[in-house]
Amino acid sequence: MSSSTIINLLFLLTFLHKTQSFAPILPPHTRTALHLAPASKVHILPTENDVTTAVHSIVASAAQSAISSRGHFALAIPGGSVLKVLTSLEPSWDVTKMTLAFVNHKCVLIDDVKTSIEAQARTKFLNRWGVAIDNVISLGGTSDGEKEASEYEAKLKSLPESILPRDDEGFPVFDLALIGVGDDGHIGSLYPRRSEIDVVDGPWVVPAFQKDPPSISLTLPVMQRAARTVISAAGKSDKYPNGKAGAMRLAIAEESVTPKEFPASALRECAVWILDEPNGSELGMGLSSVEKAVGDV
């Protein structure tokens, strides 16, 4: 083989190496572009009351652990069924050492009890707990999604690390994030097939324009980085005798879905899933116990 042929071959190999498309290797928390790791912490409890008891124990334990180790407890909550669960909780920790943020929230007046998660939370439990206004990270009360998301992130970033820790990439690490899942798989206000679910290494908070008025939402990497992420589903109705059983199966076990199609599936590996028997009925699993569920967090 002549020297010119060898040079041409080397040039060709170099060209192919530089131009071949390689999938980026992303950090473990950015799962929107990765295969889905299996959910290893799934607990089906006999009753809705058992699920409530487990969540209450987890919140209390997380609060006491954070306050004991760092002097403060950072909690993130959504609206919906999670508010119902927290309504019957009596705090056993010092609530003056707790900061509460929202996983998602509509861009509405914060005192509108019909639409504001904060107003609903205050009515249901925050006022009874004695949580001060300064201990809740509130929206500004406008309908401007871009502005509200930007300002909410700025408020979170203004918190010292003693209040809201950061990881080595600068993302916040909540001591506990309680996440709700919609029938369509949305988590927070990250809805299927929308660009918000694609944010894996950018802002902490994004505006979401799925509905009018818009919402703000914590991004996927923030949800995944919480020290403890808990998803619970319990209760049923005449219309939905098995609650969200179908959604739970898709989120936890269905191999054909992707986070883009069903965002909750992106939390499979990092979340502890606590369901009552109807909501877990499509998973083909046996019953667990409150103690095991709490111990898995």
Rounded CA-CA distance 121/133 in Å is 12
Based on the number of CB atoms within 10 Å of its own CB, is 90 exposed (0-12), middle (13-18) or buried (19 or more)? exposed
Which pLDDT value is given to residue 21? 32
Rg (CA), the chain: 22
Please list the residues that pair with 187 across neighbouring strands.
Answer: 181, 190
Q: Which pTM was predicted?
A: 0.87
Q: What is the pLDDT of residue 116?
A: 98
Q: Are 194 and 263 in contact (CB under 8 A)?
A: no
Nearest to 152 by CA among 101, 78, 85, 224: 101
Q: What's the distance, CA 202 to chain centroid?
A: 16
| pLDDT per 10-residue tile (average), the chain, 297 residues | 48 40 36 61 98 98 98 97 96 98 98 97 98 98 98 98 96 97 96 92 94 96 96 88 94 93 95 97 97 96
Cα distance from N-terminal residue to C-terminal residue, the chain:
64
Is-contact 44 285, C-beta < 8 A? Answer: yes
CB neighbours of 15 closer than 8 A, spacing ≥ 6? none
